[in-house]
Amino acid sequence: MIYTYQSRVRYSEVDENAVMTLFSLINNLQDCCTFHGEDSGVGLAWNAARHQAWIVADLQMHIARYPRFGERIMVITWAESLRGLIARRNFRVESQEGEYLAEAATEWILMDMIRQKPLRIPQEQIDGYGVHPDKKPEHDLGQRKILLPEERKPEEPFSIQEYHLDTNRHVNNAQYVRLAVRYLPSDFAIHHLRVEFRKQAVLGDVIVPSLAFSENGNNCVICLADTEGDAYFAAECRK
């Protein structure tokens, strides 16, 4: 089914200009698909009882306008495909009046959390969510793979704390984005975002950030890696 989550932009979700942050916008996507699972009968507890969990692999997003404090919004999500080991899920964010605000495409993997191996998507999940193969994002959101420039400016390493984690005891998806974009200038307004979640960081892991800007300064690639240089997370941010 196509699922709609209605919300209102909270004070806790906005920046100093009373505009929703990118972190909060991605959290709204995450809340929407989580509630979709709950209302479809295949939610958090259903998966936990089977020692499995959905892990997002990548995200591509276009943002036309960030909603403002107090504004009522609708987050819409649906499964484009649930086949084999990969689920493709799309999102659209609209104002209460139907104005297009943002859309996103994502890929997910259902993981066996004991063996740490991907699972084939069971029929119960397919029946619960339904699929809409003909309903795709309206915009070209870009490729899924991100090429990391060889020359990147290193930043000060930091350690993963408890508040970065989610129920899987891994760094939350939105937290990766929050940790990465803090290295951008304050006037760098992101309207195009591509993200790869390459491996899971856990409590105490040391993260080594690095970034590279394009010549015109309108594009930045950010990498969050381990101390050996293997990336946990990669993002391409464009104005």
* Among 129, 145, 168, residue at a domain's last position: 129
Query: Would 143 be classed as within a structural domain?
Result: no
* Mean residue pLDDT across the chain: 95
Kindly state whether residue 94 falls inside one of the protein's structural domains. Answer: yes
Which residues lie below 8 Å from residue 231, measured CB to CB, with a gap of 6+? 148, 196, 198, 199, 223, 224, 225
The residues pairing with 209 across neighbouring beta strands, listed in sequence order, are 224
The reply to whether 233 falls in a domain is yes
Amino acid at 21: T
Task: Please indicate, yes or no, whether residues 10 and 111 belong to a single structural domain of this protein.
Answer: yes
170 and 98 belong to one structural domain? no
Q: pLDDT digit string (tens) for 51-80?
A: 999 999 999 999 999 999 999 999 999 999
Q: What is the pLDDT of residues 144-174, one digit of tens each?
A: 999 999 999 999 999 999 999 988 888 999 9
Cα(118)–Cα(55) distance, rounded to whole angstroms? 9
Judgement on whether residues 11 and 60 belong to the same structural domain of the protein = yes
122 and 159 both lie in a single domain: no
Do 13 and 81 share a structural domain?
Answer: yes
Does 96 lie in the same domain as 22?
A: yes
Residue pair 118/111 in contact by the 8 Å Cβ criterion = yes
Per-residue pLDDT band for 91 (boundaries 50, 70, 90) equals very high
Is residue 135, in this structure, part of any structural domain at all?
A: no
Tell me if 145 is assigned to some domain. Answer: no
146 domain-assigned: no
> Which residue shows structure tokens 């300064």?
217
Q: Is residue 138 part of a domain?
A: no
Are both 30 and 83 inside the same structural domain?
A: yes
Tell me: do 125 and 229 sit in the same domain.
Answer: no
Which positions ≥6 away from 217 have C-beta within 8 Å?
Answer: none
CATH of the domain at 78: 3.10.129.10
Calculate the alpha carbon distances from 32 to 72, 92, 96, 180 in Å.
Answer: 15, 10, 16, 23
Determine the pLDDT at residue 196: 97
Is the same domain home to 112 and 188?
Answer: no
**Do 111 and 12 have their domain in common?**
yes
Q: Which helix (H) or strand (E) holds 31?
A: helix 22-39
How high is the pLDDT of residue 167? 87
Model confidence pTM above 0.85: yes
- Give the mean model confidence (pLDDT) for residues 106-134: 95
- Whether 77 is in a domain gets the answer yes
Contacts of 136 (CB under 8 A, 6+ apart): 80, 90
From residue 196, alpha-carbon distances to 48, 70, 177, 219, 224 in Å are 25, 31, 10, 16, 11
- The whole-number average pLDDT for the span 81-108 is 96
Total of domains in the chain: 2
217: left (phi over 0), alpha (psi -120 to 50) or beta: left
Q: Which residue has the tokens 């996103």?
A: 104
Question: Does residue 113 sit in the same domain as residue 203?
Answer: no
pLDDT for the residue 168: 84
Residue 35 Ramachandran class (φ > 0 left, ψ -120 to 50 alpha, else beta) = alpha
Altogether, the residues listed in the chain come to a count of: 239
What are the DSSP calls for 92-104, one per residue? Answer: EEEETT--EEEEE
Domain boundary among 83, 113, 129: 129
Parent domain of 165: 153-238
The rounded percent of the chain whose pLDDT value lies above 90 is: 95
Say yes or no: 200 and 110 in one domain: no
